[in-house]
C-alpha cells in the first residue's frame, strides 16, 4: 500500500519547483529528492501512521504516532534536514509529519508543541529545525486546525544523547525541560507534542512531564519516525525498505505496529502508555 495520492502529487509538484541541486539521499542531480528516492521513501513508510512504543517504555510517555521506521531514505532525509542544513527537505517532510499529526490529534483545534533542542544543538544549527517543520505542517493543514507553541526549553545543560541507552537517556533528561515563562498558564487546551524521531522515548516523556507540571493536558505525540532496534531476523511483512540483516520487521495489528525481536532485544510497537488523553480517531492506545 502506498501513500495517499494527494501526498504523492503534492510532493512531486514541489520537487519540480525547486532549484537544481542534489538529492539528499543519494546525491543524484535532483533536489531535494530524486524520483527513485521519493519512491523508496514511500515504500519504506507504514501504510498509514501507526501507534508505536519503545520497549522498555518510559513512565509518562504519551501515545506516539509515527509515519515509519527510522531507516533508509527517511533516516537520510531527517539527518540531512536537521544536521546538514538541508531545510529544503521541509517540502517533503512537513506533509509526512502532518499525516502523523492528523492521525494522532482529536477533532477540533489543537496546539502543537515541538520537542525542544539542547542549547548546544540550537547554536550549532543556527535555528530550531523541529519548530520550523512544525510550522510548515501547520501551514499545510486546514486553517485553524493546528497552531504552534514552542513552549518548552531546556533548563540545564544536557549531555549528548547519541550512544546513550534507555537508563542513561532517562537520567540525562530528568528534570531537563520547563515551560517558557511567556507560555505558562496559556496552554489551556490539550496539546500534541511533535518531534522527528522517537528512540527510547526519554525526551518525549520528559517533555510531557514538563507540560503536565504546568497543568497542560498532553494528548499524544506525533513523529516522523520510530527507531528500529537491531537484532531481530527480517521476515514476512512490513515496509519494503530496510530488509537487510539485523533489522526488525514491522507488523501491523489493529492500527498498532509490532516488531518481532529475538530475546533480550528491544522492539517498536505492541505496548505503550495509556494515561494521556484520547488518541486520533483511528487509533487505539497501547499499554506500556
Examine the pLDDT at 241 and tell me if it is beyond 70: no
Q: Per residue in 117-155, pLDDT tens?
A: 766 655 666 567 899 999 999 999 999 999 999 999 998
Measured between alpha carbons, how far is 158 from 120 in angstroms, rounded to an integer?
A: 9
Grid cell listed for 22: 542534489
Q: Which whole-number Å values give the CA distances from 29 to 23, 120, 139, in the listed order? A: 6, 33, 29
Burial class (CB in 10 A: 0-12, 13-18, 19+), 174: exposed
Measured between alpha carbons, how far is 176 from 203 in angstroms, rounded to an integer?
A: 9
Q: Per residue in 41-51, pLDDT tens?
A: 999 999 999 99
Most confident of 16-30, 31-45, 137-151, 250-264: 137-151
Examine the pLDDT at 68 and tell me if it is beyond 70: yes
More confident residue, 262 or 152: 152
Lowest mean pLDDT among 68-82, 124-138, 173-187: 124-138
Please give the mean pLDDT across all residues of the chain.
Answer: 75
Measured between alpha carbons, how far is 52 from 268 in angstroms, rounded to an integer?
A: 6
Measured between alpha carbons, how far is 148 from 50 in angstroms, rounded to an integer?
A: 22
Q: Per residue in 95-107, pLDDT tens?
A: 999 999 999 999 9
Lowest mean pLDDT among 26-40, 98-112, 209-223: 26-40
Q: Name the fold adopted by 48-259.
A: Rossmann fold (3.40.50)
SS3 content of the chain, % helix, strand, coil (to 5): 35, 20, 50
Measured between alpha carbons, how far is 70 from 78 in angstroms, rounded to an integer?
A: 9
Answer yes or no: pTM beyond 0.85: no
Question: 31 pLDDT band (50/70/90 cuts)?
Answer: confident
Average of pLDDT values for 75-86? 90
Provide the pLDDT for residue 6: 54
Amino acid at each position: 500500500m502506498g501513500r495517499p495520492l494527494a501526498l504523492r502529487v503534492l510532493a512531486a509538484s514541489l520537487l519540480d519547483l525547486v532549484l537544481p541541486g542534489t538529492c539528499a539521499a543519494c546525491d543524484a542531480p535532483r533536489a531535494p529528492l530524486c524520483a527513485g528516492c521519493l519512491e523508496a521513501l514511500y515504500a519504506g513508510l507504514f501504510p498509514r501512521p501507526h501507534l508505536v512504543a519503545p520497549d522498555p517504555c518510559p513512565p509518562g510517555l504519551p501515545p506516539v504516532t509515527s509515519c515509519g521506521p527510522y531507516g533508509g531514505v527517511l533516516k537520510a532525509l531527517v539527518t540531512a534536514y536537521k544536521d546538514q542544513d538541508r531545510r529544503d527537505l521541509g517540502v517533503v517532510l512537513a506533509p509526512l509529519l502532518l499525516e502523523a499529526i492528523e492521525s494522532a490529534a482529536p477533532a477540533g483545534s489543537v496546539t502543537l508543541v515541538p520537542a525542544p533542542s539542547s542549547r548546544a544543538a540550537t547554536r550549532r544549527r543556527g535555528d530550531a529545525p523541529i519548530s520550523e517543520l512544525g510550522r510548515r505542517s501547520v501551514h499545510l493543514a486546514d486553517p485553524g486546525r493546528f497552531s504552534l507553541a514552542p513552549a518548552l526549553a531546556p533548563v540545564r545543560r544536557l549531555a549528548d544523547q547519541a550512544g546513550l541507552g534507555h537508563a542513561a537517556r532517562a537520567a540525562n533528561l530528568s528534570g531537563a525541560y520547563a515551560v517558557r515563562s511567556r507560555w505558562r498558564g496559556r496552554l489551556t487546551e490539550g496539546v500534541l507534542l511533535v518531534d522527528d524521531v522517537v528512540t527510547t522515548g526519554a525526551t518525549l516523556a520528559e517533555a510531557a512531564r514538563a507540560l503536565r507540571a504546568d497543568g497542560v493536558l498532553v494528548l499524544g505525540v506525533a513523529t516522523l519516525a520510530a527507531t528500529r532496534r537491531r537484532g531481530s531476523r527480517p521476515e514476512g511483512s512490513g515496509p519494503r525498505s530496510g530488509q537487510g540483516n539485523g533489522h526488525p520487521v514491522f507488523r501491523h495489528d489493529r492500527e498498532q505496529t509490532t516488531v518481532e525481536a529475538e530475546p533480550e532485544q528491544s522492539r517498536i510497537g505492541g505496548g505503550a502508555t495509556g494515561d494521556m488523553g484520547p488518541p486520533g480517531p483511528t487509533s487505539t492506545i497501547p499499554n506500556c
